[in-house]
Structure 1
């Protein structure tokens, strides 16, 4: 969790630091990143970095969570565009992602999330029952006739869907797929989830 000093910065200053962290982490593993590399770009002392974050892993987890929340919100927005077609909304999001400029900040954030091979990308950030994200999510589940028992299951399903999207995008990036190949693979996954694998006689 970032230090209060960082949280109290102006939005402009935080965005500048966020961009530096994204550009630093998205194309190299955290094990290869040095604090010196970041503070040089930030044009500040090493001590100032530790006033913002506990350590390098704290900065990494922070930027992972920031963009994970952004992706969650965008997935929800796409699903809401057609509330009766839950998985079609996700498909439209995947198509949009596949058409992004690979130099854009959003593409870099997706690349960061998909390439993460440690536990940071899978740590669930807290979501209270009254958070706007969960409120929107619950409304979508009800409108889509998806039966969820309680808040805990709703949160678990949200992260499950996030992992579905990230796994699809990871396949897209790793295999250098076309948009058509990405969607074909995604539809396989949806079929497995909605129709199952074993047909009863």
Structure 2
């Protein structure tokens, strides 16, 4: 996490720094990025960078987690707009991503997340079961008749859904698919989840 000094500056300046970090990290491995080029873009001294972050890895991890939270929030918002059709909400989010300009900051944030190499960014943080976010998620599952035995299982499914979306977007990038191909592939995954992969004859035995 950044140092307290970072959180003491204005939200506008925090966002400005995050946008610079995104620009430096989104298309390169952390080993290819130097602190010197970051501070040059920020027009700050090297010492100023270390007033905000422990080191380069700290800045990278914070950038990944910040944009991960934003993207995950947008995915849930899209599902919420289609409350009674869970996977349609995800499909609409993917279709929207498929129409993004490859030069847009949002697309860069997605590319950052699909390339993120530090496993710490996937670490599950402690979750308050009584939080509004968890309750909203449980309501979405209930409306869509998605059965979970416990809240822990529902939270695990939340992480699974987010991984499913990012996996689809990674395939989209790597294979240079069209938006239509992205949606077609996602529908395969939805079919596997909703119907299963065993043949009808196997289910009848």
TM-score bin (small chain): over 0.9
CA contact 1:73–1:133 (8 Å) conserved in 2: no
Q: With structure 2 as the length reference, what TM-score do the two structures score? A: 0.92
Q: Distance in 2 between matches of 1:70 and 1:131?
A: 18
Q: 1:126–1:57: structure 2 CA closer, same or farther, 3 Å change rule? A: farther
Q: CA deviation at 1:12?
A: 0.8
5 Å-filtered alignment, 1:148-167, equals: 148-167=148-167
TM-superposition CA deviations, 1:161-196 (whole Å, max 9, x none): 111000000011111101111011101111111221
Q: CA deviation at 1:120?
A: 4.0
Q: Which moved further from structure 2: 131-140 or 42-51?
A: 131-140
Q: What's 2:176 paired with?
A: 176
Root mean square deviation, CA, Å: 1.5
Q: What's 1:138 paired with?
A: 138
CA contact 2:5–2:52 (8 Å) conserved in 1: yes
Q: What's 2:27 paired with?
A: 27
5 Å-filtered alignment, 1:1-201, equals: 1-199=1-199, 200-201=203-204
- Tell me the matched-pair count: 201
Q: With structure 1 as the length reference, what TM-score do the two structures score? A: 0.94
SS of the aligned residue for 1:89 comes to helix
Q: CA deviation at 1:133?
A: 2.7
SS of the aligned residue for 2:67 comes to helix
- Point out 4+ residue stretches in structure 1 off by more than 4 angstroms: none
TM-superposition CA deviations, 1:100-130 (whole Å, max 9, x none): 1111111100011112244144223443224
Q: 1:131–1:175: structure 2 CA closer, same or farther, 3 Å change rule? A: same
Gaps in structure 2 of 5+ consecutive residues: none
Larger radius of gyration: 2
